[in-house]
Structure 1
Amino acid sequence: MSVIQENIQIAKLHLDRLKKAFEEIKERNLLENFDIDDFETVKVIDTFIFRFIKLQDYLGQKLFKRFLEEIGEFYEDMSFIDVLDKLEKLGVISSSEEWIEIRRLRNKLTHEYPDEIEEMKEEIKTAMDKIPILEITIENLEHYLKNRKII
């Protein structure tokens, strides 16, 4: 297995765990019945947030660059915006702006303020809405590499 294939498998693992936490939040209706003093609720919410952050970081800091290296399009001085713009031009992501928003959301989720429960719930709902974008992006990366017989 090549390094890029390993990277894609790791991203899929993070995605799978994120989706499992998402399903548990939905099944148990944890956002509507959010009890900050209930350890089990906090544990599931924390797992979701951790996996969302982990996956976004992994894609943004590792997989996107490795992908561009594999196809000969990565340069050492590329900023994150440059990477996103290149991925958008290649059709791997639909919008670099959308990914900038995902990164901003990731940054918001890293901060926990117990007195801002409603804001945190909204951020979690927004993160839940972004899961399909993360999933499609991983699929697009893999399809691009397969179509060009790189993997």
Structure 2
Amino acid sequence: MTLKQVCEELDIHFSRIDALIPEIKSYLPFKETDFNDTEKIKTIDAFIYRFTKVQDRMGEKFFPLVLNELYEYKRSMALIDVLHRLEKLELIESSDKWIEYRKLRNTLTHEYPDNEDEIIEAINLSIEAYVDMKHIYSMILKRL
């Protein structure tokens, strides 16, 4: 996959999340009773799906391809190595923050019906994280 193809895919995900954000923001802060509202759940599920796609594609495809464009990538690099290199190049603010986004993504993709508080917190945090992820994407594209 080329950088252009990954960017086209990410642009679609960002665009679709941007269309959902106004409705999602009207639900904030997300509450336990919202799990009973079918329309809210549809919107939140769509957001979670796109959020996880963005987080995955940026970490697994976009970041390595960016480093490759800069002649900084080696096939043997683990995600943490990619993140550290991006941080060193000042393309991301913090590799630790990206790892937190990864943990957030993992929480969102594992539905624990008996732990709604954790899911609610993750949903609320993911909306903030999305804004930062989109900013990171935009800034990297400007730098390239």
TM-score normalised per structure 2: 0.90
Within 2, Cα distance between the matches of 1:110 and 1:33? 18
Shift of 1:90: 1.2
Q: Tell me the equivalent position of 1:22.
A: 21
- Asked whether the 8 Å contact 1:30–1:41 carries over to 2, the reply is no
Q: Name the stretch that deviates more: 64-73 or 95-104.
A: 64-73
Find out whether 1:70 has 2:69 as its counterpart. yes
Find out whether 1:126 has 2:142 as its counterpart. no
4+ aligned runs moved over 4 Å, structure 1: none
- In structure 2, stretches of 5+ residues that fail to align are none
Shift of 1:31: 1.6
Q: CA RMSD in A?
A: 1.9
Shift of 1:5: 2.9
- Asked whether the 8 Å contact 1:14–1:51 carries over to 2, the reply is yes
Question: What percentage of residue pairs aligned between the two structures are identical?
Answer: 38
Deviations 1:72-104 (Å, cap 9, x if unpaired)?
A: 111011010110011111111000010011111
Q: Tell me the equivalent position of 1:39.
A: 38
Letter of the aligned partner of 1:133 in structure 2? D
Higher relative contact order (Cα pairs below 8 Å, separated by 6+ residues): 1
- Asked whether the 8 Å contact 1:4–1:67 carries over to 2, the reply is yes
TM-score normalised per structure 1: 0.86
Shift of 1:116: 1.9
Deviations 1:41-73 (Å, cap 9, x if unpaired)?
A: 211111111111010001001111111111211
Within 1, Cα distance between the matches of 2:93 and 2:141? 15
Within 2, Cα distance between the matches of 1:33 and 1:115? 11
Within 2, Cα distance between the matches of 1:33 and 1:104? 21
* Count of aligned positions: 144
Within 2, Cα distance between the matches of 1:30 and 1:39? 17
